A and B are shown apart, each in its own frame.
Chain A
C-alpha cells in the first residue's frame, strides 16, 4: 500500500483540530480579561488565536480554517471593543504567511519552528500596527505592542503541542 495514497491518511475530525482549539482560545481570552493586578502588575494579555493560526497552517491547508480565523478575529474585536475587522486581518495575514512557507517549517527543530512562529506573530502585529495607525490616526504605543508580542510568542508550546498532535494525521500534507 502506498504511503501517499488516501488510505495513509488518518481521519481528522474538524471538531478536534479546529473546534476544540477555537473554544480553548475563547475561554483563555475571557479568563485573562479578568481585571486583576498581582503585586501591582496586570495580567498578561496574549493573543491565543495566533498560536492556533500558526498550528493550523502547518497541520494542513483547509478551506474552513480561514473562516474559523475570521470568526475568532471578530470575537476578539467584539470582546476587546477594537475596530471591527482588525484582528481578522491580523490573524489571516499571519496564517497566509505561514501557509506560504509551510514546507520550509515542517519537520524542523523545535527552536527553529519557534523562531518561525515569532516571525508569523510579527507579521500579525505589523498588520495590526498599520491598521491601528490608520483607524486611530496615530501609531499605537510600541512598548504596549512589544509587551503583547512577547506574551504571544511565549505561547509557542501550546501551538507546538497542537502541531505534534495532528501533523502526522495526514501525510499528504507534510
Chain B
C-alpha cells in the first residue's frame, strides 16, 4: 500500500512551510552575495568572470537585436523630421539668430585665447587616442544605469576610460572583456564625477541617482551657479581629462541643482572611448626626463684679467671645465630670472 492510499493521503502537504524554508535559504544566499559584493572596492574574480561571461553572451544577441531596431529608429527619425518640419524650422531660425551673436563673441574670445596661450605657453586639450564603438545593450532602471559597448581589451580599452558621444560625456568604462566593455553612465547611482562650472570655475561632484538629470553635490555656494551654466569635467582626481563637455545646469523638481546631460540630446548608439588612464600619459616623458648637459668648454682668461698666476696653462688654451664650486651665500635677495619670451 502506497502512502497516498493510506490515512495520510488526505493530509495537505506542508509545502508552504518547505517553500518558506527554501525561501529563507535563497534569501540568505542573496544577502551573502550582496554583502560580499562591494563594487569599485573589492572585486572577487568569480564575480568578474560571471559578469564578463554574461556580457560576452549578451553582446552578440544585443547586436543582432539592435540592428533592425536601429533601422526602425532611423525611419522614425525621418518621419519625425517630416511631420515636425515647420516647428523645427522656427526653432532653427531662433537658434541661428543666437548663433550669430555667439559667433562674434567666439571670434573675440579666439583672438584673446591665442594671445593668452602664446603668453603662457600652455598646451590645452592634448589629443588623446580613442576608439569608436557601438552600444548594443542598455539598462535604465533606478538601481543601475549601464551600457554595453562592442569594443574590449583587444582594442586597448581599459577600466576607467572616459566615454563620449558626439554631444558630450556619457560615462566611463567599469568592466572590460576581450570584445565588449561595460559603460557606467553618469546617471548611475554609483557614478560620481568631478566637474566645474565654466562661468565661475566652481567645483562640484556630479552624482547620479538613477534619474535622467544627475545632482550637483558639494557646491561650495549656491551663488556660484545659475540655470543654464555650462558644466565640464574638472580633471580633479585624474579620472577624466579636464574640459570634457557634460551638460548644463537646471533646477530639479526637488529644488536642487541638477545637470541636463549633453549626451541626452540624441540616442547614444555610437560612442568614442578615450584611451585615457591618467595625466601621466599626456605628459611628454622624454621632454620631462633629466638630460645630461653637454660638457661646457671654457677659455682660459687672459693674464691681464686674472693677474700673474705663474700657471703652466697657456692663454688661449681650452679645457673641460671643472665642476663648479658652490656659490657663497648672497646677502642680497636673488633677482628673478628674465622670462625667456620677454626678450626674444
Q: A: which residues have CB within 8 A of B?
A: 2, 4-6, 30-31, 33-39, 42, 45, 47, 60-67, 69-70, 73-75, 78-86, 88-89, 92-93, 95-96, 99, 128, 131-132, 135-136, 138-141, 143-145, 147-148, 172-173
Contact = CB atoms under 8 A, between A and B. Distances in A.
Contact of B26 (A67, A82, A173): A67
B70 A138 contact: no
Contacts, number: 188
B143 A140 contact: yes
A145 B142 contact: yes
Contacts of B189: 132, 136, 138, 140
B15 to A, nearest CB: 5
Contact of A39 (B22, B61, B65, B80): B80
B161 interface: no
A81 B174 contact: yes
A67 B50 CA distance: 18
A95 B39 CA distance: 27
25 contacts: A6-B9, A33-B62, A35-B66, A35-B136, A35-B268, A62-B19, A67-B26, A70-B29, A78-B50, A80-B146, A81-B182, A82-B139, A82-B144, A84-B47, A92-B27, A96-B20, A96-B27, A128-B142, A135-B34, A136-B190, A138-B209, A141-B209, A143-B253, A172-B13, A173-B15
Given A39-B80, A80-B146, A33 B139 contact: yes
The residue in B136, B140, B269 that gathers the most chain A C-beta atoms within 10 A of its C-beta is B140
B210 interface: yes
Contact of B207 (A75, A85, A86, A138): A138
B209 A60 contact: no
Given A35-B268, A36-B267, 15 more contacts: A33-B62, A34-B62, A35-B137, A35-B138, A35-B267, A45-B139, A62-B15, A66-B25, A66-B26, A79-B137, A80-B141, A88-B27, A128-B142, A143-B211, A145-B142
Given A35-B268, A65-B19, A83-B37, A78 B9 contact: no
Nearest to A46: B141
B23 A99 contact: yes
A88 B32 CA distance: 11
A70 B143 CA distance: 18
Interface string B57-85: 01001100110011011001000100000
